[in-house]
Structure 1
Amino acid sequence: MARTKSTLRDLAELILKNVEVVEADLAKRNASGPDINETFVPGADINFGNPEVSEAIYLTTCAAQQLLQTIRPPQACLIQEVSRHVVPPSLRCATELHVAEILSEAGPEGLHVKSIASKCGVDPLKLAPVLRCLTTRWIFKEVRPDVFANNRLSSVLHKGQTSEALQQNPEKKYDLPKAGICTTIGNVTDMGCKSSAYLYETLSDPDFAFSNEPNRASFNKGFNTNKTLWEFYEDPAQSARLHRFNTGMQALQRMQPVEQLRDSFDWVGLRDDALVVDVGGGIGSVPLALVKLIPKLKFVVQDMPLVVEDAQKRWKDEELVKTGRISFQAHDFFEAQPIQHPDVFFLQNILHDWSDKFCLQILSRLREAAGPETRLFVRDRVIPYTCLTSDEDNGEKIPGVLKPTLPKPLTAVGGGDPFAFTLGLGLMVLANGGERTLNHTIELYRDAGWKVETVHQFDALGRAISGITAVPI
């Protein structure tokens, strides 16, 4: 009797099929395949910018993760999941102690943990288990007993400075663009992990569980404060954390191609000298990049007074600021909007920081100031459900929305790349914010007097920021 092919084999074959796509692209470019034991050189192996390759990588990781969770005993899977709680703090130790830089200076032969610890000023008996925790996640490698070296993953933790320079000037450790990944690791492993440890306590506390207030989040329990996250950052005692956060946000912005912003809204269709109000626009980096691509636009960038003051100093010699193409205005987006009937109200990475209650206030203020022809353009993630959906499940049909697909036997949308989902939960933990599904987004905007007309998505998983265009109702 012929044996029925198992789900395990289906998953293994799906992995192999998509690895072949990646290898075919490598062969076409005459590039070598990635090696976990070698340091990472951008552009030297996999072409991550190729959409076909990117999809193959996603399906490979999704199938690999499902295979791991299927082939092991369920109890072992769950224990493995909860045991990961030591991985983020171990990664933070490695970045704060500059282990990648120390090992880079030691070369491919590596360095004994006693020597690493001596340079870090820590106990080698305590550093060794930290590094071994990471090597079991393929971050660093143990080349001989107690001797560690960099590999593909750990090499990207290098901040672009020598270990000596980093130790002598710790306040400058994030100054170079190469340190961008370390700012994100620092933000997540410090603020995120300490806050998320209190997630259950927050969900089960009657004073917190049903609150929309930004100072009733897990963060408030984790850091024992009644301040919002943003008020906490403004405390002078938190200047190092604020610097790390701002540097991390700038690094993330650099990773988002300005072409995506250009292509996700009909900027070209606007009139000459169209007025765009960038609400909560920070120091104006996004408008500066966009106006260089579409010179006919005029931007007013609004933010809190200290941010505006910083922006005006930073860009005082910028020609676009001198000519008035870009200007700055102090404004609290919860207050009445001072600019009436602009062509566009623009928000980027704002609404996901706030609960529905406060998003409704922000959007309602803009609706009050909108003219009949004003359009609202919001850049935020639109996340899918983790199951496949029907047209009925998706509710209102909006042009530009991408529908996730899953080849059999995959079962979880985002299972191989849960970034958008973990980010959304992280925002809830920190400030009661979060990423939203399409149905949630449509309903929220409608309640504030806006009708979502189009959603420009670059991927169906919400990994990239979507462009949401709405008009007054």
Structure 2
Amino acid sequence: MPSPLRSLLAIIQKSVDEIEGAYEKRGFDFPSIDEPPSERDTVRLDPSVQAATALLTSAAYQLIANAQAPQAHIFNVAFGFFLPAALRAAMETDVVEILREAGPQGMHVNEVAKKAQVEPRKLSSIMCYLATHHIFREIEPDVYVNNRLSSVWDTGKSLEEIKSNPLEKFDGTNGIAALIGHNGDVVYKGAGQIANHMMAPDTAFEDTPERSPLMLAVGYDKGSVWSWFEEPSNELRLRRFGIAMNGINSLQPPDEILKGFDWASLPKGSLIVDVGGGIGVSSISIVKAFDHLKCIVQDRPKVVANGIEHCKKILPDALSSGRIEYQGHEFFEEQPHISATVFLLKQITHNWSDRYVTRILRRLRDAAAPTTTLVIVDPIIVHPCPAPPSTIPGANLPAPPSPLLSNLSIANASTHFMDQNMFVHFNAQERTLDHLVELLASSGWEIVQVHRPDVSGGYLSQIVAKTIPVPN
């Protein structure tokens, strides 16, 4: 029997062969981390390449965990919190933009520090640490250039433009720089209070968003994270957060909502109520693809106003024809649309603890007809160990090759990052499928189908539920 190292190495070798084969089929070589983005990058979007990459990532991390001495591995993990801190430091000091302007010859850290107006030795320490993690490339001692990883958060703006309009630094960007800033600032503070929050008698069993680890960390007692963001001193944080969330959403194309639930099968004139639908990104995709459907987007009045303006730019005909409407509504209150064809909850339930989610779901159940469908779009936590198979269609994932973890470990880390994020921000969580089944059943809903976006379990799965008949 091969050793765990050999088994993992075999998975890595097979995955590399599949990935390189896909590139060769398109007439490309696999790009180096030091090469600029190019047409070759589209190959990464191939489902077979994504699946092979997930297996490779999982096996590579498990190989390291097996091979390293336990003390060394735990030591590296224990000090891993310095990485997001260093990322934020590099982002806030505009190092990527400075190096982009310097060109391929790079720039000495002393010159970078002079332009960034920071102390050279401190910046040198940060840059060396990041380059050790393959973020930036040191081409000679203390001389750095951007690589593919560092370039990901380039705002595309000049240093002069950023310095003259600091509040607008993240405007019009892909949101990754904003996400680094938010995580390295806000989430970092809240995460540091997780253990204290869990053990303190007055917060150990707390489930309200007003008493989350983040609120404990910043010493805020006037409300939840939303009111904290609206404090005058948090203008940049609030603006940055919005752009960061748009950046996360952009990781999936707007029409991703169309993959899974069979919207085309709905009868003409069917009504979809997009509960907490924000500016209507999902609803716009639905009515754009299916002109026989109507969507009503519900959210807070200020959000609804922004949504109307957004829709006027993206799909004005749908707005003027009434195929999409916007409505101010608080989802804890009575649902005004009785007997909707579909209630859609996209990235809503993970923002709330069970007690609050139950209230939302019961409001929808009270308004539902026997034929109403509920579609929830949220991550599903997958256990690292094998779990008993589910009888729900689409719920079971293919078993990865041994000895990989059932959830593909680091390849599926995003769901666990989000789980901790929900805890830190809102005292909420992502949920396992069993947890969702129990939660929905207690609210009058039965899960009848799960649509997984990929073999790892997926960042955003679609959970389809029907009403449980009320006994006569």
Q: 1:416 aligns with which of 410, 414, 425?
A: 410
Q: With structure 2 as the length reference, what TM-score do the two structures score?
A: 0.94
Map of 2:357 onto structure 1: 359
Task: Give the Cα–Cα distance (whole angstroms) in 1 for the partners of residues 272 and 155 of structure 2.
Answer: 36
Equivalences for residues 45-56 of structure 1 within 5 A: 45=41, 47-56=43-52
- State whether structure 2 residue 125 is matched by structure 1 residue 134: no
Match of 2:169 among 164, 167, 173: 173
Does residue 21 in structure 1 map to residue 35 in structure 2?
no
| 3-state SS of 1:95 partner | helix
- Judging changes above 3 Å, is the alpha-carbon distance between structure 1 residues 43 and 183 closer, same or farther for their aligned structure 2 residues? farther
Once the two structures are TM-superposed, the CA of residue 31 in structure 1 deviates from its matched residue by 1.0
The one-letter amino acid paired with 1:209 is: A
1:428 and 2:423 correspond: yes
Alpha-carbon deviations, 1:378-398, whole Å to 9, x = none? 11122211111233xx4xx11
Give 1:405's aligned amino acid.
A
Q: 1:111 to 1:231 in 2, by over 3 A?
A: same
Equivalents in 2 of 1:109, 1:459: separation in Å? 40
Following superposition, the deviation at residue 35 of structure 1 comes to 0.9
Choose from 437, 440, 446 the match for 2:441: 446
Q: Distance in 1 between matches of 2:206 and 2:13?
A: 47
Task: Tell me how far apart the structure 2 counterparts of residues 78 and 412 of structure 1 sit (CA, whole Å).
Answer: 22
Aligned residue among 104, 119, 140 for 1:108: 104
TM-score, structure 1 normalization: 0.94
Which residue does the alignment assign to 2:120? 124
Q: Which residue of 1 aligns with 2:187?
A: 192
Q: C-alpha distance in 1, partners of 2:382/2:139?
A: 42
CA distance in 1, matches of 2:274, 2:365: 15
Distance change (3 Å), C-alpha of 1:372 and 1:7:
closer
Displacement of 1:433 in angstroms is 1.5
Task: Identify the residue that residue 457 of structure 1 maps to in structure 2.
Answer: 452
Q: Give yes or no for contact 2:258–2:285 (8 Å, CA) kept in 1.
A: no
Matches within 5 A, 1:43-442: 43-45=39-41, 47-177=43-173, 179-226=174-221, 227-316=223-312, 318-391=316-389, 394=390, 397-411=391-405, 413-417=407-411, 418-442=413-437
**d(CA) in 1 for partners of 2:420 and 2:72?**
25
The 1-side partners of 2:288 and 2:22 are apart by 34
Identity across aligned pairs (percent)?
37
* Secondary structure of 1:157 counterpart: coil
Mapped partners of 2:210, 2:420: distance in 1? 16
Bigger Cα displacement from structure 2, 155-164 vs 108-117: 155-164
Could you tell me whether the CA contact under 8 Å between 2:407 and 2:457 is conserved in 1?
no
Per-residue Cα deviation, 1:338-388 (whole angstroms, up to 9, x for no partner): 221111111100001111111001101111111222111111122211111
Deviations 1:86-105 (A, max 9, x none): 11011011112211111111
Conservation of the 8 A alpha-carbon contact between 2:284 and 2:311: no
The worse-fitting range, judged by mean Cα deviation, of 325-334 and 412-421 is: 412-421
* Residue matched to 1:36: 33
319-328 or 233-242, which deviates more: 233-242
Question: SS state of the match for residue 296, structure 2?
Answer: strand
Shift of 1:42: 4.7
Equivalent-residue separation in structure 1 for 2:285 and 2:167 (angstroms)? 28
How many angstroms apart in 1 are the aligned matches of 2:431 and 2:252? 20
**Distance change in 2, residues 1:199/1:298 (3 Å):** same
Q: Sort the Cα spacing of 1:447 and 1:239 in 2 relative to 1 into closer, same or farther, 3 A.
A: same
Partner of 2:465: helix, strand, or coil? strand
What RMSD over aligned residues (CA atoms) do the two structures have, in Å? 1.7
Q: Which amino acid aligns with 2:452?
A: Q
Do the aligned partners of residues 297 and 164 (structure 1) sit closer, same or farther apart at CA in structure 2, a change above 3 Å counting?
A: same
Which runs of 5 or more residues in structure 1 are unaligned?
none
